[in-house]
A and B are shown apart, each in its own frame.
Chain A
Amino acid sequence: MSDAPADATEDEVATEEAPAPEPELLHGAPVTRANGQRVAHVERGSLVAVARALRDEGWLMCLDVTAVDYLTNPTRVLPDGIDPERFEVVVTLISHADRERLRLRVQVPEADPTVPSLFEVHPGTEAMEREVFDLFGITFTDHPDLTRILMPEDWVGHPLRKDFAVGSIPVQFKAPSRG
């Protein structure tokens, strides 16, 4: 974990008091900390397995599924072994027993923007995955009904991608007439 941010390494040393800075792993996924919350960087292929194992451990509810398009900001800090890709799907889980939230970050390449759907594990991700599909164009395999949800169904493009321009309407300002 040589390239990991300094504060994450310090946290681990402080909490575990381990002499060797062994990277913390959660079902094989390296874990970092961001503002006090644990973040697990999960491989795309193992997302469903990890989510299922976590659910059985008490991370009962999936609060949120969203995505980030890192097109114009590729230099973010990731743990060793995780290659940055253009898209990142972010899943927020909550454990009611531990009163803690956990974030799963999944790297999704631009060339193949597909992610396995969490619908089997958490049926409540259905609408959220549709939203990510609609606004980012990331396909969720095995989703029961992957259609646009917020945009009209004949809309072209995926608005929250960074290369989707913000629309604007020219406004003509006039000086107030005197008299």
Chain B
Amino acid sequence: MTIAEHEADHDLAALTDEGAQEMSPRALAGGVEVLREVGSVLRMSESDAMLDAPDDSETSIINMGPQHPSTHGVLRLMLELDGETVLRTKPVIGYLHTGMEKTGEQLTYVQGGTNVTRMDYASPLFSEAAFCLATEALLGLEVPPRAQWIRMLMHELNRLTSHFLFLGTNGMDLGSTSMMIYGWREREEGLRILEMITGLRMNHNFIRVGGTAADLPDGWQERLSTYLDAIPARLEEYEVLMTDQPIWRERLQGVGDITTEEAIALGATGPILRSTGYAWDLRRQMPYFAYDQVDFDVIVGSYGDCFDRYAIRLNEIRESVRILRQCLEHMPAGDYRIQDKKVTPPPRARIDESMEALIHHFKIFTEGFKVPEGEAYAAVESPRGELGCYIVSDGSGTPYRMHIRGPSFVNLQVLPHLLRGGTIADAVAVISSVDPIMGEVDR
């Protein structure tokens, strides 16, 4: 495509003066933009970046996605290729954008959970928790210990299902279809326990402001321990099926590597940051819930490549199982939510006998509760990294501004860096190892 044709194509964008989202030919893109798209963070100069392909006629720009099966939903990558080698990458996102932050400004704090839980659909309990922690910080609420432990248990259970989903899709992307089936099998079992506890497989809205929606059901210990007993042996199977397998290692080792400095500069968190050997896990470093009372290890890698990110997630499953066993053992008795009539609804039985309880119940579910003016940021360690929620309150019953810092959204920025110099086949492995959830990227 000539430059003139390219310009003609983008007339509309020129009119709105906001530029095109697509990747432009080198002759049109500025030096800094090219620098960005080759994923240079610290080391390269603008002229070096241009040297890759001095002439646009030698390279081709292709689309990968948004409906490519290995892009985990609707991620669209524009790749500049020299033969099969990737030179520049530009992620184009927004295909799932539904304005959830705008919606969050219309919903009360009671309804807000149903909104944020739909962002990261593979680990919904984490966005709920960030939202509730920020609201509780504004309200100045202290959540009872049992609620903290239930939240921690739900988080680790959800981390299991999310990492099993990763193992399944990662296997699928790299041609191991049996792993796809195994990952899905384990995830389904986890989802059944989540369903038993929350009533839903996904989008639970279980973690509420002031505690959780309900207490743990009868028999949860047996269900959970049966599940936990089955996992270690299956992880051993995965080790045989994938970790020890030369083809698997060949596909992942040394592919898509990144250093600690680059990951920090790009804002990457979670397994991507830890794969570089940097032990940063909010559960350990800035503990919330009851993570300071349980024993677990932070898993780190050494090379920052796709294999490390795979191995970290595999071993984080083992750590989650450890935490869950401690939850089984030490789950404290007591309230599962704070007994504050203004924030949490009264028990169902009270409504039949107390007019006051009925009024409180009605008020909470119609107009919600008022939150003092102010702003708060709270974050949790989701399976993908730091998931933060920033809430500004104007003193009314709905957030004045509700912003979610999605780890997938920020982590996508490492893609140009990870993909540069690799082949398209590597690109599939790299996208998979970043494990983006597009619902959270686009929100």
Contacts and interface: CB of A to CB of B under 8 A. Distances in A.
Interface of A: 34-37, 39, 60-64, 66, 68-69, 72-73, 76-77, 90, 92, 96, 99, 101, 103, 122-128, 131, 135, 144-154, 156, 159-160, 166
A153 B20 contact: yes
B280 interface: yes
A166 B12 contact: no
Contact of B267 (A34, A77, A90, A124): A124
Given A96-B285, A124-B413, A127-B410, A63 B21 contact: no
B376 A73 contact: no
Given A66-B403, A150-B94, A60 B16 contact: no
18 contacts: A34-B374, A37-B376, A61-B264, A61-B267, A62-B267, A63-B379, A68-B392, A92-B388, A96-B280, A101-B377, A126-B36, A127-B410, A128-B409, A128-B410, A131-B409, A145-B30, A145-B36, A160-B101
Interface of B: 12-13, 16, 18-21, 29-30, 32-33, 35-36, 41, 93-94, 97, 99, 101-103, 106, 137-138, 264-269, 280, 285-286, 373-377, 379, 386, 388, 390, 392, 394, 400-401, 403, 405, 409-410, 412-413, 442-443
Contact of B377 (A37, A145, A160): A37
A101 to B, nearest CB: 7
Contacts of B36: 123, 126, 144-145
Given A34-B374, A64-B403, 4 more contacts: A92-B388, A146-B19, A152-B94, A156-B16
Given A34-B375, A35-B138, A150 B442 contact: yes
A126 B37 CA distance: 11
For chain B, what secondary structure do more than half of its interface residues adopt (helix, strand, loop), or is it mixed? mixed
Contact of B286 (A69, A72, A99, A147): A99
A22 to B, nearest CB: 24
In order of increasing CB-CB distance, the 3 nearest A-B pairs are A124-B267, A144-B32, A147-B19
Given A34-B374, A61-B267, A73-B394, A151 B413 contact: no
Nearest to B16: A154
A125 B264 CA distance: 11
A123 B392 CA distance: 26
B400 A34 contact: no
B410 to A, nearest CB: 6
Contacts of B392: 68
B377 A68 contact: no
A147 B268 CA distance: 22
B41 A150 contact: no
Contacts of A154: 12-13, 16
A42 to B, nearest CB: 15
A149 B376 CA distance: 26
Nearest to A76: B373
A151 B267 contact: no
B377 A147 contact: no
B42 to A, nearest CB: 8
